[in-house]
Amino acid sequence: MPRRCWNVLVACATIPLAGLAGCTGDSDKDRTQKPLVSSPADAPESTSKLPPRKADLPEPPEGAGKIDPDAPEEFTATRSGLYYRILRKSNGRKPHSYETVVAHYKGWLNGGREFDSSYGRGEPSTFALNQVVPGWTEGLQLIGEGGMIELEIPGKLGYGPAGRPPMIPANATLHFIVELKKIK
């Protein structure tokens, strides 16, 4: 298992998301398995046998941009098991798994308990997509700059059996609303 980058987080406070959203400290070329989505062109609408799921649209966090009026109530599943829905479309450029992005986000667990929010800190976070949990790496490649996505990340694409105590239990499903502000 790759070494977690919690120490890097402490030394580099410009990546606050990395500590909670899943910094693993490895790069795409160092991963033992092929990335789930290596480029935006590799990201099909759905290649999963998992059925789509419906849910009410979320209430955007204070400070977030608007959700499109025609945003889907239905989540789409990818082959990895990630569920997502595009809340705000964008014609902006989509990031690659090796790029650094600036994003605003809110993360919560099943039951609604929030565990992290850049909105709460009042400024977006900057992080490398190859240094966060696989669900983030995959999900953020599905939207362009200026877009907004809702992610439901199963435990295997999040922190897995280790969790991130005390905030995130083992095998927890992670929920996020993410606005992709910029690709660096």
pLDDT, tens digit, 9 for 90 and up, residues 93-119: 999 999 999 999 999 999 999 999 999
DSSP symbol at 157 = G
Tell me the pLDDT tens digit for each residue of 61-92: 999 999 999 999 999 999 999 999 999 999 99
Q: Is the pTM of this model over 0.85?
A: no
| H/E segment holding residue 84 | strand 83-88
35-60 per-residue burial string, b: 16 or more CB within 10 A, e: under 16:
bbbbebeebeeeeeebeeeeeeebeb
- Asked, for residue 1, whether it belongs to a domain, the answer is no
- Asked, for residue 152, whether it belongs to a domain, the answer is yes
Does the pLDDT at position 55 exceed 80? Answer: yes
CATH number of the domain to which 129 belongs: 3.10.50.40
How many domains are there within the chain?
1
pLDDT of residue 53: 81
